[in-house]
Amino acid sequence: MAFRRGHLEYFVTVAQEGQITRAARRLHLAQPALSQAIAQLEADLGLELFERHARGVTLTPAGETFIVKAQAATSAWEEAVATARSFARAGQGTIEFGFVGSPPGLDSPGPLAAFAAAHPDIDVLYRELPFPSSPTARWLSEVDVAVCHLPPTDPDVWVQELRREPRVVLAPRRHPLAARRELCVAEILDSTFIGFHPSVEPAWAGFWSLDDHRGRRLPDTTADRALNPQEVLASLAVRNAITTVPASVVKVLQGALGDLVAIPLSDAAPANIVLAGAERRRNPLVGAMLEFARHASAQP
């Protein structure tokens, strides 16, 4: 069979996005090239994988079956490459350190400075990540370690708690709640929250619209498809909607909120800030950082 491994990645991405245009944008491909690759894959397989319609594409029954194997194949390849690159970085004395939201050197510089002093031979390189998606191990594939609110559970991922932070409401100044000095969960459950991209892990995204306090009711969300904190802030600037964030995010944004206000949320469960990394990429340098974090978190 002549199709290339990349065609499987294209197929999976189109299935996730439900639209060739969005998938092409995500893959940094021209739309005609992506359409041609999908058509070639279908020809090679002798199967029609997608039903085309005005709003995009949906998987055929054959496509629903094939995507399970395609996802497994692409994940296995990506994991093998990511593991090799991680150990190569370790040999060069570097850790690729991912973060979501506030740069760790701004919201918690102390522990990083202490780690650098204890391990002067390790060079930590920083990379901003999009919001978590499933599986978590695949979301972490480009980094050795990441710091964020607790990502979705994955048997292939280790997690080390760092701290717990209260959640804070971010709202535009024009919002009816903007004048409040403090809010409780019950007062905002019926508010409109910023919407997240479908690829963001639903439970993780739902935490920020208080799904952990809402039960089975779905939140009212905007039509936004935010993939990262900057897109959330951009949406807040023009929407009559809100979101919640860890308190440390507000501390970093202080003075740069512009037309946004931060309101303490008195009774929401806290955000659990953790270090996370893929088990197979626990190289010696990652082990040193994890041991340092365990020791630091155990201190009173």
User: What CATH number is attached to the domain comprising 23?
Assistant: 1.10.10.10
**Cis peptide, bond prior to residue 61, ω within 30 of zero:** no
Q: Hunting for tokens 């535009």 — which residue is that?
A: 172
137 and 277 assigned to the same domain: yes
20 and 142 assigned to the same domain: no
The candidate with the shortest Cα–Cα distance to 260, out of 180, 172, 175, 193, is 172
Q: How far is CA 236 from CA 93, 112, 168, 192, 257, in A?
A: 40, 31, 14, 11, 11
250 and 185 assigned to the same domain: yes
Q: How far is CA 120 from CA 93, 100, 274, in A?
A: 10, 25, 23
Is residue 157 predicted with pLDDT exceeding 60? yes
Dihedral pair phi/psi, residue 272, rounded to 5°: -100, 105
Is residue 83 predicted with pLDDT exceeding 60? yes
Average pLDDT over residues 42-63: 92
Give 87-92 contacts, CB < 8 A, sequence gap 24+: 87/281, 87/283, 89/144, 89/283, 89/285, 90/144, 90/283, 90/284, 90/285, 90/286
Is residue 167 predicted with pLDDT exceeding 80? yes
54 and 141 assigned to the same domain: no
Q: Hunting for tokens 């029954």 — which residue is that?
A: 61
85 inside domain = no
234 inside domain = yes
171 and 263 assigned to the same domain: yes
pLDDT category at 2 given cuts 50, 70, 90 is: low
Question: Distance from CA of residue 104 to its chain's centroid?
Answer: 16
Q: How far is CA 296 from CA 92, 93, 99, 291, in A?
A: 26, 22, 19, 9
Least confident of 154-158, 196-200, 287-291, 293-297: 293-297
174 and 262 assigned to the same domain: yes
16 and 62 assigned to the same domain: yes
Which residue range is the domain that position 291 belongs to? 93-163+273-298
**CB 236 within 8 Å of CB 244:** no
Is residue 1 predicted with pLDDT exceeding 50? no
Average pLDDT over residues 39-61: 92
Is residue 117 predicted with pLDDT exceeding 90? yes
78 inside domain = no
Whole-model pTM?
A: 0.78
Amino acid 3: pLDDT: 54
Average pLDDT over residues 32-39: 93
143 and 261 assigned to the same domain: no
For residues 268 and 166, what is the distance between their CA atoms, to the nearest angstrom? 7
97 and 218 assigned to the same domain: no
Average pLDDT over residues 198-203: 92
pLDDT category at 146 given cuts 50, 70, 90 is: very high
**CB 194 within 8 Å of CB 221:** yes
